[in-house]
Each structure stands twice: as C-alpha cells, then as structure tokens.
C-alpha cells in the first residue's frame, strides 16, 4: 500500500510538471487534473475523489478568497491614486541620491505589501530610470534594490497572496508569519538589494532607456505619510491580535471588551476591511474621485485576483487529496524516520517546483500542499509552523530563470539581455532564498 501511495504522489507531481511545462496547460486546470489522477492511483472511490476536491477547495477559499479579494481592492485604490509613487518620492527626498538604492529597497518593501509584484514594479520602475539618468550611474544600482524589496514582500509578508495561501494550507497564524517575514526579509533585502547591486555595478553597466508614464503630477498625489499610515493599519491590527493571543501577553490582565475588540479588529478580514474603507475615503472620496470611478477601480482590481484565488483553491484540493488518501501520513512516517526537518523539507520541495515550473506562487502553493500532511498530528508550535511558511516561501524564490514570467518582465523593463538577467535577477532571487532559509532555520532552533 505504501508503494502504491508513494507511486501515486510521485507520478502526480511528475504529471503536474509535465502539464504545466511541456503542454503549457494553465496551472489551475493542471492541479485539478492531478488531483483526480492521484486519487485514482491511490484507489479512492470516484465519489470520494470529487468530494475531497470540493472539501479542499472550499476550506481553502473560505479564507483565502476573502483576504486576496480585499488585498487586491486595496492595492487597486492605492495604485490609481498615485500613492505608491508619492511614497517613493518622499523616501528619496529624505534619503538623498547617495542613499537612493536603500530608499528604493524600502519603497519596494513597503509598497508590495498591498500591491501585486508586477503591478508595483511597473508603477515604481520609472523612478529608477529618473535616478539613473540624473546620476549617470548604472540602472542596476537602483533597480535591483527595488526588485529585492518587492520580491521579498511578495513572498514573505501577508496580505500578499503567496504567504496567505501557504499560511492557510499549513494552518499558520498570520501574525507570526508577518513577524517572521520581516525577520527574514530585512537581512535578505539588505544583502540582495543595495549590497549586491553595488557589487554588480562593477561588472555590469546598464544605461536607462527612454521611459514614458501616464501619471498625475506630484502635487496632486496623496500624502506619503497618509499612504504609510493606511498600509500599516492592517499589519498593526493583525500583529496586535497575535501578540495578545501569544504567551508573551496575559490576556486576563485586560478587560473582556478589549480582548474582544482586539480579536475582532485583528482578524485579517476586519483589518483589511478597515484598510479598504480608509483608502476608499482618504484616497478616493476626500480627493474628489467620483463613486463611478471608484467602482471601476474596484472592478479592475479584482481581475488580477481571480486567477490567484482559483489557483490557491486548486492547491487546497491537492492538499486534501494527499491527506485523504493517506499519502500524507505515509510521508510523515517516512520523514520522521529519516529525521528530515519539515522546514527543510518544505524548502526543498518548493525549490524543486520553482526551478522546474517557474511560478513562485505555484511553487509555494504546491509545496504547501505536499508539506501540510507532514504536520497532521504533529505537535509543532504556531511559531514553528509559521517558520515553515517562510521556508516554503524562500524555496519558491530560488533561481528564477526562463520559465518564470518575472524573469522576462524584469529583463524587458530594465533593458537586459538573457545573460544579464541571469547575472542580476536570478542571482538576486537566489540570495533572498538562501538568506530566508538561513534565518528561518536559525529561529527554528532558537525559539
């Protein structure tokens, strides 16, 4: 029976990669096909396969769809208001041109919290062009730190879809994930951003090409301080709720109504609803944006969220198939016998899928589905499960190359050929990945 289950899982993963890589089938459809395939090979009745898929899809999307939808709506309003550019300009003014690489890293780190990676990159890349033209230095000096900040937040820090999905599939607490995301992300950003960029410019000079943008004048953009405050409202509420529920704080020391309000407002649903209402009013209504335009912005922002939601649901279905077939329990037993740390296991699986099929989001979700059964029945602390989320996210960032859409997006906008993109972007993602693994492993043994 164990051989049959192992064969089912192995062939299922191989089929998933074949469908996505060779046949170019959309990942959502591929995941559903593989769910059925693994269920058949594992000997599940036909009705049970479908019920298991429905169970996995429903249980995952009940949380993820709401959070991703609210996050997309928030990002859409922020993008249309010009708030991201206003924040970048403010940071540059405060740091000066000498520290501009650090400013771009910080900007990318902050802006990618509510905005999808590719959207945030396209919004902010004109600033790197302006800096390069003004200083005469390589575009790489400013673009790589920006990309490092964006990539790290995109994979490490909720409410971006990847870590949200992984946290939900593994059953991790979002507050801990946010805290550990910052703990791993900050050193990763420093090493892969400004420091790596400065080293890289010694052997790679990239001149900025002409770049046009349709944006509102700076004096019509919202205040950078307002943007920062709105972005950190949901993060603060979620982290506060986590701290109140942790052993670090004795909730009984506070009145019941305070615990109730913190628990209510600190839930990701409520926190993001509040952030959206703040953005809706201060970035929209108060600045004279019509209700019709705000509704159009909302509708457009949901377009980018749709595929993420469906893909996440399919990942949840795959996870449930592995659990209900008993494959997860078998893998858990073999893992325990081989003494492989689940954190390292999650990283390796995510890294293999990332290298083979390209998408960091697909790698994260698929690896989470494969890793989740290992945690069933195990007595891991919430902090440890959250560290596994960071390890999976780290593995999903490694070695971006030609099968990753981000590889081509970066090369196109910065003006790099394939060799230069490997030398810069690919190495940068690998640095982030290894630092993330190192920090999460260190915290695993310290906590």
The confidence score (pLDDT) of residue 332 equals 54
The confidence score (pLDDT) of residue 378 equals 73
CA 329/CA 332 separation, integer angstroms = 5
CA 137/CA 124 separation, integer angstroms = 18
Q: CA 111: distance to chain centroid?
A: 13
The confidence score (pLDDT) of residue 321 equals 85
pTM score of the predicted model: 0.69
Q: Can you give the pLDDT of all 447 residues of the chain as single tens digits? A: 667 877 887 888 788 878 877 888 887 888 899 999 989 998 899 999 999 999 888 877 877 788 778 877 887 787 778 776 676 677 677 777 788 899 889 888 887 776 667 767 776 776 787 678 777 889 999 999 999 999 998 889 877 778 888 998 898 888 899 999 999 999 999 999 999 999 999 988 888 765 444 445 566 678 878 888 887 788 788 878 877 876 567 777 888 999 899 889 988 889 889 989 998 899 888 888 888 888 888 888 787 677 767 877 887 788 788 778 876 666 655 655 556 788 998 999 888 888 876 778 878 888 888 888 888 777 888 889 999 999 999 999 999 876 676 787 788 778 888 788 889 999 999 999 999 999 999 999 887
The confidence score (pLDDT) of residue 88 equals 64
> Which pair of structure tokens corresponds to residue 272?
């993001």
For every residue of 103-119, DSSP letters joined together read HHHHHHHHHTTTS-HHH
Q: Which residues are within 8 A (CB) of 6 and not within 5 positions of it... i.e. 6 or more apart?
A: 327, 330
Helix, strand and coil content of the chain, in percent to the nearest 5, comes to 80, 0, 20
């Amino acid at each position: 029976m164990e051989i049959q289950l192992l064969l089912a899982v192995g062939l299922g993963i191989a089929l998933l990669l074949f469908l996505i890589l060779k046949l170019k089938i959309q990942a959502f459809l591929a995941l559903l096909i593989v769910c059925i395939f693994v269920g058949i090979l594992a000997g599940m009745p036909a009705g049970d396969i479908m019920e298991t898929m429905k169970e996995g899809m429903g249980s995952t999307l009940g949380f993820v769809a709401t959070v991703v939808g609210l996050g997309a709506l928030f990002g859409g309003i922020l993008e249309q208001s010009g708030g991201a550019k206003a924040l970048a300009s403010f940071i540059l003014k405060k740091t000066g041109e000498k520290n501009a690489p650090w400013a771009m890293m910080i900007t990318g780190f902050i802006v990618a919290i509510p905005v999808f990676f590719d959207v945030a990159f396209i919004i902010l890349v004109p600033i790197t062009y302006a800096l390069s033209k003004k200083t005469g230095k390589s575009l790489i000096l400013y673009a790589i730190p920006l990309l490092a900040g964006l990539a790290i937040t995109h994979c490490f820090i909720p409410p971006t879809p990847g870590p949200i999905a992984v946290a939900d599939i593994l059953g991790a607490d979002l507050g801990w994930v946010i805290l550990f995301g910052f703990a791993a992300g900050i050193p990763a950003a420093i090493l892969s951003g400004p420091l790596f960029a400065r080293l890289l410019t010694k052997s790679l000079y990239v001149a900025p090409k002409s770049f046009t943008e349709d944006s509102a004048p700076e004096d019509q953009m919202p205040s950078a301080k307002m943007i920062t405050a709105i972005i950190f409202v949901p993060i603060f509420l979620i982290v506060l709720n986590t701290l109140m529920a942790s052993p670090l704080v004795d909730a009984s020391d506070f009145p019941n109504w305070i615990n109730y309000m913190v628990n209510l407002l600190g839930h990701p649903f409520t926190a993001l609803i509040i952030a959206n209402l703040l953005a809706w009013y201060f970035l929209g209504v108060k600045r004279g944006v019509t209700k019709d335009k705000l509704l159009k912005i909302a509708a457009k922002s949901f377009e980018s969220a749709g595929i993420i939601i469906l893909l996440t649901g399919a990942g949840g279905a795959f996870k449930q198939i592995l659990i209900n077939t008993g494959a997860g329990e078998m893998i858990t037993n073999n893992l325990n016998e081989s003494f492989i740390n689940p954190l390292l296991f999650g990283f390796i699986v995510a890294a293999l899928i990332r290298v083979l099929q390209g998408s960091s989001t697909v790698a994260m979700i698929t690896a989470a589905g494969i890793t989740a059964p290992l945690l069933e029945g195990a007595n891991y602390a919430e902090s440890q499960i959250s560290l596994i989320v960071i390890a999976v996210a780290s593995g999903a960032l490694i070695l971006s190359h030609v099968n990753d859409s981000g590889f081509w997006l970066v090369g196109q906008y910065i003006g790099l050929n394939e060799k230069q993109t490997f030398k810069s972007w690919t190495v940068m993602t690998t640095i982030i990945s290894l630092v993330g693994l190192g920090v999460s492993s260190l915290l695993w043994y310290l906590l």
